[in-house]
Amino acid sequence: MDLSIIIVNYNVKEFLENLLNSIVPATVGIETEIFVIDNASSDGSKDIIEQKFPHVKCVWNRENLGFAKANNIGLKMATGKNILLLNPDTILNENTLKVMISFMDNHAEVGMAGCKILNPDGTLQLACRRGFPGPWTSFCKVSGLSNLFPQSRLFARYNLTYRDENQSYEVDAISGSFMMIRKEVYDAIGGLDEDFFMYGEDLDLCYRVQKAGYKVYYVHETQIIHFKGESTKRSSVNDTANFYNAMRLFVRKHFAAYLFVEAILMLGIAVRYSMAFIWRKRLVFLTFVLDVIVFDYALYFAEQIIKHESHWNGFPEFAVPVIYTVPVLLHTGIGAIIGQFKKDTISVGLSLLASVCSFLMLTSLTYFFKEFGYSRAVVLLTYIIASLGFIVWRLIAKFKLKLDNPFRAGARRVLVVGASDSAKAIAERLLSKRTEYYQLMGFIASDMRDVGSKILGSTVVGSLENIDKVITELKVTEVIFSTGDLSYAKIMEVVSGLQKQGIEFKVAGSDMQFIIGKTEITMLEDIPLVEISYNLSRPAQKIIKRLFDIVMAMVLIPVLCILRFSSGPGRKKQVLQQWCRFLPSVLNGSMSIIGPKMVHSSALYLGKKGITGLWFIEFEGEQNLDKLDIFYAKNQNIWLDMEILSKSFIKILSGE
């Protein structure tokens, strides 16, 4: 047996299916056995393997045993001359296994090797070649010197960023997502240390391989793509905690004799863990800090204004510390209780609710603490100024950070790479998806001679030779590869060459039921619409939208009248006149400012007919109206309405 491949799977059936499909051409001419060790997946992985890959040997664990224990089950069963530990969220190049086996055959001193590993955006995954965390390396990593001087041999020893990724060389450690080890080496040192549940076991194994007298190598001649972290996304375990616990275990196991090393690394782990926590909660911290600043500045300005307008002398010095801390803590505390501080959004409504509640509570408390009841005018003015401040900074943040706006953040400008029937099928399924909005920018062919031809009414806009130029000119956000048109080797070559574009690359499954990418898996079949709960159908959202309609209609009536009479004949004037006729219907509730082009007869509520909507600013033919209306109903919020309205005005005034 030439090769044993061991794959530990946990709830990533789409990635696993794509990987197994890529293994088929990669193992041609190689005597191979494949083991899938499943850690109690509940996503239907078992059905996929049994139906589509009956040659794969499987072990179905009843619980999640972790990466190390599961791999050891496969290692004990392996009979190949070489053993490959492989993550399920990877895709192999057709030549990967041949190159790696040849390398191992020609370098007897090498006990373990890994290949070049790419991120989905084409950049190098730094973990595929690393140094051990010794004293100096640890200090540079913890202090940030390695990030400040990535090309320095002195400071960048951990991720080896100063070394050429297009050369092969000996390294301390490689990535656990692709590790090829000789069977004789495994027999000599044993499997992975099962004290490591997740993370760190790859560093530990590399360390033990070298302690046994063998070398560990990074091989650049072949490459794979790794969609890093997919299993941890679908697990209930705390992956951040596991990562730092694994590092702590590694340090204690191999560097316990060096107290300085352990102290440095323990400090680094604590700092990194804290930074990771702060980064995950960065929006919570931002909201809290800015609210405190705004509130206390509002209190200061209110004090100055009342002092200027009356004979009051201001707060006595002894009370200042209490006055500038207790009210703001009361306000933020109530905000925390009602859920104002969230890690993924900033709420204007909840901030105003917190202001009302804390105002009522603060004015009540002054009855019991009369020594601090100096001026109710200051309290009232403070909350008026603070509330305005809360609204202003939140609105600025929402637009600057692109929060709560699925249209701005989620409108997908897609290129499909391929021109065959499979590429056509991918495009058809994307365009037919009713719950997502895709803009098909065109197709990319393998041959320049196909450029200019039509597929599904869309143009073949370029070839692989000029795909980078096409991406830039058309402002593409996603590139989807059809594996029916390109080999895995060609896909990786293209991805690697476009790593500076900063876009997402996705690969369609062989049966075209799904598309996998770094940020998500896109299923190409929609679930029944009656099972979907949309934003627009929620009672609270209907109330907010109705208030928005009334306010905006009253504002727009005089504005549109002025614009209509100042406009010359043409489409611009016709649209303005039409809007003016519809605004009374908005006020009486029979229409909406933003909504579908026509009222839908389906049981699913898609909103009242709108005087404008996505259909107005993104019109691409009658066949897309239904999809645009569903997308709007699914994602509707006040910020999306404001953007659609502003873009509608821009379109009218520009005469489009």
Residue 450 in tokens:
């196909």
Helices assigned H by DSSP within 281-324: 282-309, 320-323
Identify each DSSP E strand in 339-476 by its residue range: 412-417, 438-445, 454-455, 458-463
- Whole-number pLDDT of residue 306: 85
SS3 359: helix
Whole-angstrom distance, CA of residue 382 vs CA of residue 464? 61
Whole-angstrom distance, CA of residue 282 vs CA of residue 257? 37
Terminal CA-CA length for the chain: 67
Inter-axis angle of helices 67-77 and 201-211, nearest 10: 50
Question: How far is C-alpha 491 from the geometric centre of its chain's CA atoms?
Answer: 22
Query: Residue ranges of the chain with pLDDT lower than 50?
Result: 230-238, 409-410, 521, 526-532
- Whole-number pLDDT of residue 605: 67
Give the helix, strand, coil percentages of the chain, each rounded to 5.
50, 15, 30
Contact by Cβ (8 Å): 419, 460: yes
Residue 264 in tokens:
């440095």
- Whole-number pLDDT of residue 37: 96
Helices assigned H by DSSP within 201-280: 201-211, 230-233, 239-254, 259-280
- Whole-number pLDDT of residue 264: 65
Q: Work out the number of other CB atoms within 10 angstroms of the CB of residue 648.
A: 21
Residue 18 in tokens:
């794509």
Residue 30 in tokens:
């190689």
Whole-angstrom distance, CA of residue 289 vs CA of residue 295? 10
- Whole-number pLDDT of residue 236: 44
Selection from 247, 169, 158 nearest residue 201 by Cα? 247
Q: Look-up: residue for tokens 């099972």?
A: 531
Strand partners, 460: 443
- Whole-number pLDDT of residue 488: 84
Cβ partners under 8 Å of residue 183, min gap 6 = 4, 78, 79, 80, 81, 82, 83
- Whole-number pLDDT of residue 529: 39
Selection from 477, 473, 411, 486 nearest residue 445 by Cα? 486
Identify each DSSP E strand in 163-214 by its residue range: 169-170, 178-182
Whole-angstrom distance, CA of residue 491 vs CA of residue 418? 11
- Whole-number pLDDT of residue 87: 94
Q: Which string of b and e fits 491-515 if b means at least 16 CB within 10 Å?
A: bbbbbbebeebebbbbbbbbebebb
- Whole-number pLDDT of residue 602: 53
